[in-house]
Amino acid sequence: MFNLEGMTALVTGASGGIGSAIATSLARQGARIALSGSNGEKLRVFREQLNSEIGGDHVEITCNLSDTAQVEELVPATVDTLGKLDILVNNAGVTRDNLAMRMKDEEWDAVMKINLEAAFRLMRAAARPMMKARSGRIVTITSVVGTTGNPGQMNYAAAKAGLVGMSKSLAQELASRGVTVNCVAPGFIRTAMTEVLPDAQKDALNARIPMGRMGEGEEIGAAVAYLASKEASYVTGQTLHVNGGMAMI
């Protein structure tokens, strides 16, 4: 697809369904990956699988994105381990769904801390080595919900919309240094979480999608691989929507 040989990447939320698909896609194109997440055991198992099935010398770096000190150490640790950082993928995120009238402060704060603030800190940290190298790719995973809204997800939608505005601003700041900043906005993606839904609920979701099915993690990985590649060197400040036509934006 796109040649990422010799490039390094940090992927957050790498042991989850979409995160692992993104990491796999980048690794298949030749990038060396720093896999980050809060579950060290899951990361280790996935790293061993990646090294065995695809090859390469990928590493894992455990990080709790709700811990500011750990977030601030993640990019420097990645650079120390991999020698450089060419690609940052902000994928990790959490949900704390509730109707607005019932939403607790801690539900709002948790989503903002992990989904928005941690991404800001990682983008700020990654910008320094990328600007110095006059090259880099920052790709942030948002959501169709950040554009359309969704009942019960006021906090999540706000954080995802914030990521888009934040990325556009940073894209303008870094463009002259050869660093691009973009977003990928998934729609409904088939993961282990969606697989346990009742068939009737799956059918109802699929009925909202013109393509009649949920997306696959690999399809998000392919979008990220494109934005991370040299072929996307003139694409910055954009949001690539991957939703099967559910929202045509």
**Positions of E strands within the chain:** 8-11, 32-37, 59-62, 87-90, 136-141, 179-186, 239-242
pLDDT tens digit string along 85-126?
999 999 999 999 999 999 999 999 999 999 999 999 999 999
Which one, of 220, 239, 21, 22, lies nearest residue 148 by Cα? 239
Contacts of 74 (CB under 8 A, 6+ apart): 10, 12, 36, 61, 63, 122, 125
Give the separation between CA 88 and CA 17, rounded to whole angstroms.
18
Instruction: Check if the beta carbon of residue 38 is closer than 8 Å to that of residue 65.
Output: yes
| Alpha-carbon gap, residue 219 to 30, rounded angstroms | 18
User: How far is it, in rounded angstroms, from Cα 88 to Cα 33?
Assistant: 10
* pLDDT tens per residue, range 132-176: 999 999 999 999 999 999 999 999 999 999 999 999 999 999 999
Q: In CATH, what number does 8-189+217-241 get?
A: 3.40.50.720
- Spatial distance between the Cα atoms of 49 and 2, rounded to a whole number of angstroms: 22
Say which DSSP state 215 is in.
B
Q: Which of 2, 156, 188, 226 is catalytic?
A: 156
Mean pLDDT of the chain: 95
The domain locations on the chain are 8-189+217-241
In the block, which residue shows the tokens 């059918």? 203
Global confidence as pTM:
0.95
pLDDT in tens, 169-196: 999 999 999 999 999 999 999 987 677 7
Q: What is the pLDDT of residue 196?
A: 76
The pLDDT value recorded for residue 1 is 63
Q: Within 10 Å of residue 86's Cβ, how many Cβ atoms?
A: 21
156 is catalytic: yes
